[in-house]
Amino acid sequence: MRVRAVVGDELRIFCGSATPELAASVARHLGGELSKGWASSFPDGESRVQIDESVRGADCYIVQSTCSPVNHNLMELLVFVDALRRASAWRINAVIPYFGYARQDKKVQAREPITGKLVANMLEKAGVDRVVAVDLHAGQVQGFFDVPVDHLTALGILGEHLGSQDLSNSVVVSPDVGRATEGRRLANHLGLPLAILHKRRSSPTETAVTHVIGEVKGMRPIIADDMITTASTITRGVEALLELGALPDVRVVATHPVFTPPALERLAHEAISEVFVTDTIPYRGELSKIKVLSVAGLLASAIQNVHDNSSVSSLFPK
């Protein structure tokens, strides 16, 4: 895939093969186009990167989600960083809208790896000077890095879209206790009550809802999560809410549409009326109830603020 042109005299925006449309949109928000570079593969699958313009002394940003194929996209990002470092870029910023391996942030059982830390080590060793990410699955991943991390959230984008809809008799539902803080922020933003699902995980992809904290009877739930992978948590939550008398008009919002099978089949549940996600991961499906909102403006603002040494926290919803 070839990308080209320049954003500014010192600011350079590059992209890998994971999120080219998002990267191009980010560049347009900054008033330019993507910088010249190649991201491709050798016939045996090895990642190959070629930078086609001088980046000596430049402030470089690589937009690349580490979504599926996760290992390929991660390796491509590392190769991009190495290419820029060897080309004498002044600063190398990894803009990772979806940070893969963030779920492996601690040891749950004996002899397990902490792969989120391993990925952080790899990025730093390759030469990353700064990381920009959106809605990390585990906030403590920020502490895995010894370089600055700007942890953005799409909560404002999702909340603004929801705020334009009819929210009568609605309740924000956090899918678990771990997401309760973010659920509370969204509920406060929309002026709605909050309910929390208490779940038990039986495997890395399967969960069971044991009980619900909060009043949901006669309410229209808005289930808010950071990512949807198999949609097991979502559909189990929907069933639990319906059993407690919630109305069969459930809206689902999540930042990252990971969507591994059978996620789309589960999201087709008749009680789910709409699903709102962002473009941190490209969505190629055909389920019409899924609506994609863009984080390009958010990322562009963060990049501009970092480049100008301005505050990034000003972009966070209050």
Q: 36, 117, 199, 289: which one is catalytic?
A: 199
Structure tokens at 165: 């809809």
**For residue 89, what is the DSSP state?**
B
Told to judge if 291 belongs to the known catalytic residues of this protein, a careful annotator would answer: no
Which residues are catalytically annotated? 199
